Amino acid sequence: MSEKKPFLTLEQAKEITAVYPTPFHIYDEAGIRATARAVNSAFAWNPGFREYFAVKATPNPYILRILREEGCGADCSSDTELMLSEAVGFAGEEIMFSSNNTTEDEFARANRQGAIINLDDITLIETLEAACGIPETICCRYTPGGDFAIGNEIMDQPKEAKYGMTRAQLTEAYKILKGKGARRFGLHAFLASNTLTNDYYPTLARILFETAVELKKETGADIKFINLSGGIGLACRPEEPDNDIMAIGEGVRRAYEEVLVPAGMGDVTLYAELGRYMLGGNGAIVTRAQHEKHTYKEYIGVDACACNLMRPAMYGAYHHITVLGKENAPCDHVYDVVGSLCENNDKFAIDRAMPQVDRGDLLYIHDTGAHGYSMGYNYNGKLRSAELLLGEDGGIKLIRRAETPKDYFATFDFSEFDIHE
Ligand SMILES: *Cc1c(COP(=O)(O)O)cnc(C)c1O
């Protein structure tokens, strides 16, 4: 079972809110390091294994620096993510550029930084060649189409995904790239998101390993690495069992021994591009209950809104909520926990059994460390919150200040208007 235990106590949260007003995102350095070490140890059997953290999940240089110290690389898909990674010190093959619908400018920058380029589509060979020529090391992204199932359970629908090349295009792309001077090949696929089974990575790995063996036979390409990408999820609800990263690493090892080793490909290096698994559980939002409303339902209005965390509104995602200081109180009330947007999907929880919430209570929204702040937006003129880091020493560091109205208005030229804060 996943234990939904905040990494902050009420006392700590009160000390923090005396300095930094709610709402804010906060990340747990010790947790981030422990997760990175667990992932690295689960794949330590594969020499050269590297987790390229998906920068889009938590694009903050202080977070990226911690991950770099733990031996991770950076997975980017835009100009600014490349710039951020460069600023943190990621260089050359410490960067994976896994983008789609990519521009020449983006390819040119990725290539200048020495990143490994992962091609989403066969037509991008032309774009890449025009941008910077074909590098010696190149990766191609595969989609098998259809439904992706583990046993009887359909996990996702690659047939509906905009990403990747078909099986036939993969062979063609490898041949073309080889003809244009590519020497070291990689293979990548991302078939299901936020999975909660130890079988996702092993199942995906087996598909990629078998495909790699075929591709080598068909094209003679020297396949150096296979990128299992992201998709390992988190147990968001208290009753759900957590993924076991050691079992996942072991499952991938078994597929490797059964498929790659007998094919003479026992020197292939494995890469990952995990985002959510690395940071999700190591971040939270702290927000204050500011109103209660009793109409046809019971509402708790908090000072965060969907602009701080879009996932419940966008995906109906469940995020556990702890009322700090009431961890052991009975959940004998049922609430909708809502923000202040003029948008009715702005709800962090719907019909949620919780302890009684009083105005002024601090609510801790779990598992917001990945795809949380980074999916934020400014609808209704709401400002993005601060990001804080709880250091290993227990200290608090402001790693991104909260936006001010000035930030919100920064892209207008106000010379024709008169604005007052
Ligand atoms: C988003 C993304 C990831 C990370 O996904 P998670 O679900 O956070 O693990 C990895 N690789 C690519 C190409 C992505 O687009």
Q: Give the span between the Cα atoms of 26 and 399, in whole angstroms.
A: 9
Tell me if 29-276 shares its fold with 281-407. no
pLDDT at 1 exceeding the cut of 80: no
Q: What residues form DSSP beta bridges with 26?
A: 284, 388
Q: What confidence category does residue 421 fall into, taking pLDDT thresholds of 50, 70 and 90?
A: confident
* Protein residue closest via CA to atom 5 of ligand 1: 230
Q: How far apart are CA 98 and CA 96, in angstroms?
A: 6
Rounded distance, CA 60 to CA 72, Å? Answer: 15
Tell me the C-alpha distance between 86 and 33, whole Å. Answer: 21
pLDDT of residue 73: 98
> What is the predicted pLDDT for the residue at 230?
98
Q: Which residues does ligand 1 sit against, CB inside 6 Å?
A: 54, 56-57, 75, 98, 190, 193-194, 229-231, 273-277, 370
Q: Which atom of ligand 1 is nearest to the CA of 56?
A: 1
Closest protein CA for atom 8 of ligand 1 = 275
For ligand 1, the distance from its centroid to the CA atom of residue 273, given in whole angstroms, is 6
Question: In the prediction, which pLDDT does 418 show?
Answer: 86
Domain residue spans of the chain: 29-276, 281-407
pLDDT for position 30 = 98
Which atom of ligand 1 is the closest one to the Cα of 141? 13
Residue of 50, 55, 56 with the most ligand 1 atoms within 8 Å of its CB, for mutation: 56
The set of long-range contacts for 256-260, using a CB threshold of 8 Å and a minimum separation of 24, is 256/46, 256/205, 256/209, 258/206, 259/206, 259/209, 259/210, 259/213, 260/209, 260/212, 260/213
Residue range 29-276, CATH number: 3.20.20.10
How far apart are the two ends of the chain, measured CA to CA in Å?
49
pLDDT reported for residue 300: 98
Q: Whose CA is closest to atom 3 on ligand 1?
A: 230
Q: Compute the mean pLDDT over every residue in the chain, rounded to the nearest whole number.
A: 97
Residue 223 clears pLDDT 80, i.e. is over it: yes
Nearest protein Cα to ligand 1, atom 7:
231
CB-count burial class (<10 Å; 0-12, 13-18, 19+) for 160: exposed
pLDDT at 152: 87
183-194 per-position pLDDT tens digit: 999 999 999 999
How confident is the model over 215-220, as a mean pLDDT?
98
Which of 117, 162, 229 best tests ligand 1's pocket when mutated (most atoms within 8 Å of CB)? Answer: 229
For the stretch 325-368, pLDDT in tens is 999 999 999 999 999 999 999 999 999 999 999 999 999 999 99
For residue range 144-159, list pLDDT tens digits in order: 999 999 988 899 999 9
Residue 414's pLDDT is 87
Cβ neighbours around 130 below 10 Å, total: 11
| pLDDT tens column, 59-86 | 999 999 999 999 999 999 999 999 999 9
Average pLDDT value for residue range 110-115: 98
Contact 117, 127 (CB under 8 A): no
Q: Which fold does the domain 281-407 belong to in CATH?
A: Lyase, Ornithine Decarboxylase; Chain A, domain 1 (2.40.37)
Tell me the per-residue pLDDT of 253-307, one tens digit each, with 9 for 90 and over: 999 999 999 999 999 999 999 999 999 999 999 999 999 999 999 999 999 999 9
